[in-house]
Structure 1
């Protein structure tokens, strides 16, 4: 049901409109009537009708002036002007102002009904739009936390390629901070199998009134806290960071009874660099767990100072190991681990804590290599978390060798799977492109532009994955398509050549003959 109001200085005219509306059984209810413009403005503000029949010529405030004031406060209202023949110029002005229509006096019932139905369609469309908009807004409100969490993970793991698109998401999700850092909280709870949920809730409650504070679980026993700031000039000091970390630690302990260690990364001013702060916080919390035990807080700068105090070992083996991981070369890991273990053993003079610290540092290097190779972020977090926990439990220096072999092989295998999946996607993308563009003069440069790889690397990858060069593959696919065109569709040799990307029919015939053993014309004659 819709509401309407009639405004006319003639009472009979007002009643006539109402009678027609009733007799035509239109779904409109009269909520008010007015005899002049000022009264119309007042009653429209009170009743907010969907439709107003407005006489133009009235004493005092005329219909145009009244309609203008009403539409300013209720723009969704539909106004239909009532006018005499000699007032048409007024009606035209009303339409320009945004009126729905105008009717000539005396109003004919059929014309009035037709006008009302048009208004009903317009109002119904407006209501549907409003309902759809409200539903969309509700869905967005409901999905906002999930989208926000996904964006936080992308920031932590560095999973973004288009900075402009990422900035649009940041603005929508209120991520418009000027700088930010990441803290990683490692939960200590051997008797509680699910400590993360309790600790996450406790931390979120504590940070509820702090803008740009985002908390997400990372792994089975860790939580990442992204702390953004909107201050361009004021820099957070190390004391500020540690004070916040100690407050978080105290909150978790009071609310849940859980012990924790916290690692803190550097502050960064570009959201694209926040993954560095996350990696630094992971390194810091690993070292905090190793050196200081429960309820400790360590900033990455303090880690650097500590590592500088540990005797160095040859970096050649470390570089070799990183290269093997980047290549996904599992076969060479064992020999490299043996060399590294001996180097660490000698440099640390049998000191288990120093040796563990070096292993943590190595693990951090390899995880960064794996992350840069676009290994699955969640799986990498799981592997890293498990390896750190296993390392902390080791009590003998000799156990480190087995830990290194197992752990570094896991990271390398993850990178290998990443390259295999990536290679499969590249090959499939190239094959699809070739099938869709066989009629074109496809070059190696065209293909490399599609998959964003340099020609030398792509050529090696394609030969390794398929056993033939890309040019050989392309030629074979052209000839296979040509055989179909010649035999099943009966096309001429010259037309077939053009349709499979050969500009020269003679050259096409020579290639066809070399691969199939007979000229294309003879092949076509043999078709059934």
Structure 2
């Protein structure tokens, strides 16, 4: 029911308007009347009407001022101004102040009713728009963790290069300050801890770790899962800090996280910490530094907090690590592009060799790089157990390398081993991953399921998962979700007790009209036409059976 208020200093005019509205508009309740502008504002505050019919000429406060006050207090109130023919200039001013319509006095009933229908239609449209906005806000709230994950991923992979792009996305997430330091949290011996656990138990375990890390990191951090057993934390500061102050703060946060996780779950974690960068577009540098620091666990043991400046490899050299080359090599290995991977690897090694004189330092770096690339190979489809054995075997042969040329040759040979292993295993691995993703979709298609969410369940980046899905299935992720939903809808349409609105909701569409459009586009007919065809087919089969 729409609430309406009449404001006119002539009582007979108010009574006439009320009579016309009550006789012809059952959806409108005349909630109150006022005879002057001051009373109108006070009554509008109390009644909160949807529509106000307001005369312009009134004592004390005229209708224009009253309308302006009401719009300031209740912007969604629709105001219809009453004006005499010789006051048309006032009508134009009223429209500028926010009035929806105006009527010339004396008001003809048909014009009043037509105007009210127009206003009510606009009210319905605004209400529908608000409901849609509320629905979108709910969807965004549900998707916020995945939006945040995508934002962090793009930051640490160096894909955000424009400051305006960063500000827009950071503002959407409500960040009060720019990220400055990256931390990488890794659960020590995760595979051993979860070897006998079911997939559900593993996910619950990781969720418990995530919640504890978020709790310990506090509000000055973005925390997001990354990989099977890692978390990335981006810290920001309220004011400027020196490198030493940033290091001290990040180490304190890391210590708090370690203590909390061990106290509550008796689990050891290792935290790698990168340098502080003023420009958030440099977060990929801090991330790769944190990742390199965290990998020192290989030498130092479990349950460590390692800042990149405490790693001798980085501490003793002003050399700026060529992250861009490493990212390229990792991506090319993951994608199985052997030629491009080896070309990027040569550039990376050349850059590294030119800034490091100690052969043992180079070997330590190359061994670390081998571990990184083996992980990329596993993501690309290689067999983890086979590569683990390969890594242990290759350490001794690396020790025997006496020159940088021998080290480069050794590295190239093992990249070939990785790529060969990927080619042998990729087909079956890809099929298993996509089948697992499809099973997840089949169980969850009733809600607003996102590509990022499904990619996370199979531990792939959204971009790589999207490309792999299309390659394996022949169509993209969104098309598959639509097919699953419409196939389920076809089954539900066979039940005459289910309305189209209910079916749309049960297969994941909040908007029934959008569901109907998607159904018609895919099936060449509306849901009701499809239901009629089924009923007709059943009837024909029934008649044919009776004839025989």
Shared fold (TM-score, shorter chain, > 0.5): yes
Q: CA deviation at 1:40?
A: 0.9
> Could you tell me whether the CA contact under 8 Å between 1:157 and 1:377 is conserved in 2?
no
Normalised to the residue count of structure 1, the TM-score between the two structures is 0.60
Report SS of the residue matched to 1:280: helix
CA distance, structure 1, for counterparts of residue 365 and residue 412 of structure 2: 15
Deviations, residues 45-70 of structure 1 (Å, cap 9, x unaligned): 11121211222333322222222221
Inter-partner Cα distance in structure 2 for 1:166 and 1:198: 30
> Comparing 135-144 with 147-156, which one deviates more in the overlay?
135-144
Could you tell me how far apart the structure 2 residues matched to 1:144 and 1:88 are? 51
Q: Is the 8 A contact 2:179 2:234 kept in 1?
A: no
Q: Please state if 1:276 is matched with 2:280.
A: no
Which residue is 1:158 aligned to?
158
Aligned equivalents of 1:307, 1:8: Cα separation in 2: 82
Say yes or no: does 1:197 pair with 2:185: no
Mapped contact 2:37–2:65 kept (Cα < 8 A): yes
Q: What does 1:132-281 align with in structure 2 at a 5 Å threshold?
A: 132-160=132-160, 164-175=164-175, 177-178=177-178, 180-189=180-189, 190-193=192-195, 194=202, 195-207=205-217, 209-211=218-220, 213-235=221-243, 236-281=245-290
1:120-519 aligned at under 5 Å gives the runs 120-160=120-160, 164-175=164-175, 177-178=177-178, 180-189=180-189, 190-193=192-195, 194=202, 195-207=205-217, 209-211=218-220, 213-235=221-243, 236-291=245-300, 293-304=301-312, 328=338, 361-365=365-369, 379=379, 397=396, 408-409=415-416
Match of 1:434 in 2: none
- Post-superposition offset of 1:15: 1.4
Rounded to whole Å, the distance in 2 between the matches of 1:148 and 1:304 is: 34
Structure 1 runs, 4 residues or longer, greater than 6 Å off: 306-309, 324-327, 330-333, 375-378, 382-396, 398-401, 403-406, 413-417
* 1:142-193 deviation per Cα after TM superposition (whole angstroms, max 9, x unaligned): 2222111111122223334655434422332245634522222221242334
* CA gap 1:266/1:105 in 2 versus in 1, 3 angstroms: closer
Larger radius of gyration: 1
CA displacement at 1:329 relative to structure 2: 5.0
What is the CA–CA distance in structure 2 between the aligned matches of 1:391 and 1:282, rounded to whole Å? Answer: 22
Q: CA deviation at 1:366?
A: 5.8
- The separation in 1 between residues aligned to 2:117 and 2:286, in whole angstroms, is 63
Report SS of the residue matched to 2:311: helix
Tell me, in whole angstroms, the C-alpha distance in 2 between the residues paired with 1:70 and 1:393: 78
- Secondary structure (helix, strand or coil) at the match of 1:242 reads helix
C-alpha distance 191-122 of structure 1, shift in aligned 2 (>3 A)? closer
Post-superposition offset of 1:253: 0.5
Q: Which moved more, 1:392-401 or 1:278-287?
A: 392-401
Contact 1:330 1:412 in 2 (8 A): no
**Which residue number corresponds to residue 99 of structure 1?**
99
- Aligned mates of 2:306, 2:168 — CA distance in 1: 34
SS of residue matched to 1:75? coil
CA distance in 1, matches of 2:224, 2:167: 20
Indicate how the Cα distance of structure 1 residues 169 and 392 shifts in structure 2: closer, same or farther if over 3 A, else same.
same
User: Unpaired runs of 5+ in structure 2?
Assistant: 196-201, 318-328, 347-356, 401-409, 425-548
Give distance in 2, aligned partners of 1:388 and 1:224: 25
Q: Is the contact made by 2:22 and 2:30 (CA closer than 8 Å) also made in structure 1?
A: no
SS in 2 for 1:273: helix
The CA distance in 1 between the partners of 2:219 and 2:341, in whole Å, is 50
- For structure 1, the 5+ residue unaligned runs are 310-320, 337-346, 349-353, 418-528
2:501 maps to what in 1? none
SS in 1 for 2:254: helix
Question: Compared with structure 1, are the counterparts of its residues 138 and 20 closer, same or farther at alpha carbon in structure 2 (3 Å cutoff)?
Answer: same
Cα distance, 1:278–1:35 mapped onto 2, change above 3 Å: same
Superposed displacement of residue 89, structure 1: 4.5
In the TM superposition, what is the alpha-carbon distance from 1:388 to its structure 2 partner?
Answer: 10
Query: Shift of the alpha carbon at 1:127?
Result: 1.8
Q: CA deviation at 1:406?
A: 8.5
Question: Post-superposition shift, 1:5?
Answer: 0.7
- How is 1:45-64 mapped onto 2 (pairs within 5 angstroms)? 45-64=45-64
Pairwise CA distance, 1:247:
1.6
